[in-house]
Amino acid sequence: RKEVEQDPGPFNVPEGATVAFNCTYSNSASQSFFWYRQDCRKEPKLLMSVYSSGNEDGRFTAQLNRASQYISLLIRDSKLSDSATYLCVVKANQAGTALIFGKGTTLSVSS
């Protein structure tokens, strides 16, 4: 089983739609969770950390289910500028260790 699995998509949605991405991770010792956004041929950029109680940042909502080892990202009122690849990322709770990245889910928002 891959460490972090994501549906690669692409998800093709119209502007204004709500879209959700899911991610599962295999290491139950993972303690930190993130969503990164990567535009074509650019570096990944931190979108948001994911907290146990779930958290929201504007149109973006992240949820964590530790029992199912599952993370989600919900985007409401999609904008053209949301088109990108969204990377699910987990980390064990040890300083200095690396992030484990999923391969990403591609979102395309059209007008």
Q: Is 92 in the site for other proteins (CB under 8 A)?
A: no
**Identity of the residue, 67 or 95, whose beta carbon is nearer to other proteins in the bound complex:** 95
Binding piece for other proteins, criterion CB under 8 A, among 9-17, 50-58, 63-71, 99-107: 99-107
Q: Is 109 in the site for other proteins (CB under 8 A)?
A: no
Q: What are phi and psi of 33, to 5 degrees?
A: -140, 145
Q: Is 50 in the site for other proteins (CB under 8 A)?
A: no
* 84 alpha-carbon distance from chain centroid: 11
For residue 109, the cross-strand partners are 13
Binding piece for other proteins, criterion CB under 8 A, among 21-29, 55-63, 71-79, 90-98: 90-98
Q: Is 58 in the site for other proteins (CB under 8 A)?
A: no
Mode of pairing for the β-strands spanning 105-110 and 11-14: parallel
Q: Which two tokens stand for residue 43?
A: 């570096």
Alpha-carbon distance 26 to 92, whole Å? 11
* Cβ atoms 50, 63 nearer than 8 A: yes
Binding piece for other proteins, criterion CB under 8 A, among 17-25, 40-48, 53-61, 70-78: 40-48
